[in-house]
Structure formats: structure tokens, C-alpha cells
Amino acid sequence: MKKRFLYLDTFALVRVSSDAAFAESTKAYIAKEGFLLTVSAMNFIELVSWPKRWAEVVSFVASVPFCIALNPDEIAAKEVACYPNELASLPVGFFSSDYSYSAEVLNNALALNLEGKVVEFAREYRDNYRAALQVVVKKRESFLPEKSGKYSPSELQMFMHSSVLSMLFPVHRDFLARALSEAQAEGQSEGINVARFKAAYIQALAIFVEYYVQKKEGKPSDMGDILQLGIIPYVEMSVLDHERCDLIHRFNRDQLFPGLLQAHNLPTFKALIGA
């Protein structure tokens, strides 16, 4: 049976977990629809800023079937391995259903990770966020729309191609060189099909829409939110904050992403599950 993934961003996880009635409704919905609650390392890293909510979130996660998705860079590696085909499913590092651990044991293990490694990783990520934001804003000034103040479809295509390949380089340098050589040998003028790398593609698209089109100034923590988007193409449903949910709906409305993405904000998710 094909696994069905439900992803709650950190904001949604905190809100659901801290409201007993909301948590019970979500558990019932997960059981009814056969979902796997999907969490990521980024969820845990961001929870460092919510220490009073750690116990509630960990308890909620451990109370339902859940999995821990691979980080977006690891997802990208799986996509590279599949190219030119599409990656079929979300790469996962841990399924709770693979073990006979009790909810209490899972709870303790998750809490231990929160209190240990994740705290250390969070410090490193914060520095990386700041550096990434500076690069995004700096590059924006050198890539302005040529006409009428709006980016053309060809300019979007140019941005996406360049950005996705940059995100895959230098880790996948050898693959990129080989794939480009093969495309040229086969007379494929478009070269590498960057839409196959959905984890990187959706991140680059978010940067383009928010920072280049909307001219958002942003804050370092936005980079963490954008990084988490790498999971969204591989889940059946996501629950995101208003801003990211609106962004996903824009992708769908304007057909910017190669495939329909399912996203709710908290109010629409509540209405869906009858909370």
C-alpha cells in the first residue's frame, strides 16, 4: 500500500500539539485517512526556539504513526540518482511503524534528540541562514527584469535553470557534467531538465517569487522556511503558515510548479478535520 504523508510545519505542529482538542481531532483524522505524520530535522531545529512546547510536540508526534523525512539536500541526492526519471516517493530516514517501540520510548528518544544534537545544529543553521539571505538579496540587484518591470517567462526559466544547477553544485559536480554532456550528444537544446529536482526547484521558485517578484526584504529565519519546502512536492498534504500556504496556492494558480501541491493553513485544516 502506498504511504500517504501529512506534513505539519513547525508553527502548525506547535499549535496542534498545544491544543488538546485540536490534537485529538488531528489524531483521529490521521487514523481515519491512513496518514503518516511527517516531521523533519528542521522541525526539531526550529523547536529550539519553543522550549516550553517541546514536551507537547514530542508527545503528540510519538502518539501517531510518524516518519522522519530526509533533509532536502538528501532528497536532492535521491533525485539525482533517479535522473532522468522522477523520484517516486518521499525519502524517509525513519518509520515509527518499523519498530515495536512504545509511545513512551519514542517520546523519550525524540526529547533526547531535541535536547542534544538539535540544539548544537540550530546554532550552525542560524549562521547559514544569515549568509544565504545575504547572497539572495545581493544577487537580486544583478537580475532585474528587462522590460516593463515584470519578469518574462524566459527570464523565469533562466533563473530557475541557473539556480537549481547552482544548488546541486558542487556536491553533484560529476553528475551535472555527465548529464549535460549526454544532453548535448543527444541534441537536447534545453540541456538538463531541472524540473526533475523538485526539492531544489520549489526552493528556487520560492526565492524567485518572494524576493525577486515581490521584492521581499526577508529575515534570516525565512531561509529555514524555504528549506523545508523541499519536502512539500512529496507529501499528499501539508499544513503551513499563512504566508507559505499562500505561496503554494500561487504556484498552483499560476502553474509555476510542475505538479499540483496540496497545502492548507491552520483555519482551513481545522475546518477539514472538524476541529
Q: ∠179-194-190 over CA atoms, to 5°?
A: 70
With helix as H, strand as E and coil as C, how does 198-267 read?
Answer: HHHHHHHHHHHHHHHHCCCCCCCHHHHHHHHHHHHHHCCEEECCHHHHHHHHHHHHCCCCCCCCCEECHH
Per residue in 46-55, pLDDT tens? 887 888 898 8
252 pLDDT higher than 70 = yes
Q: What is the pLDDT of residue 56?
A: 93
- Quick one: three-class SS letters along 127-175? HHHHHHHHHHHHHHCCCCCCECCECCHHHHHHHHHHHHHHHHCCCCHHH
Q: If pLDDT is split at 50, 70 and 90, which confidence band does 57 have?
A: very high
Q: What is the pLDDT of residue 86?
A: 95
For cell 524567485, what's the residue?
Answer: 208
Please name every residue paired with 237 in a beta bridge, in sequence order, or none if there are none.
6
What residue type is assigned to position 133 of the chain? L
Q: Is residue 235 scored above 90 in pLDDT?
A: yes
Q: Which three cell numbers stand for residue 189?
A: 537544446
Q: Is the dihedral of CA 215, 219, 225, 227 positive or negative?
A: positive
| Residue whose entry in the numeric block shows the C-alpha cell 515584470 | 150
pLDDT at 269 over 70: yes
- Pair 198, 79: CB distance under 8 Å: yes
pLDDT tens string 112-155: 766 666 766 666 666 666 677 677 778 888 898 987 789 999 99
Q: What is the pLDDT of residue 124?
A: 67
CA distance 213 to 156: 10
**More confident site: 130 or 160:** 160
Give the global pTM: 0.91
Percent over 70 (pLDDT), the chain? 92
**Helix, strand or coil, per DSSP, at residue 1:** coil
In the structure, what pLDDT confidence band is assigned to residue 64 with cuts at 50, 70 and 90? very high
Rounded-to-integer distance, Cα 139 and Cα 173, Å = 22
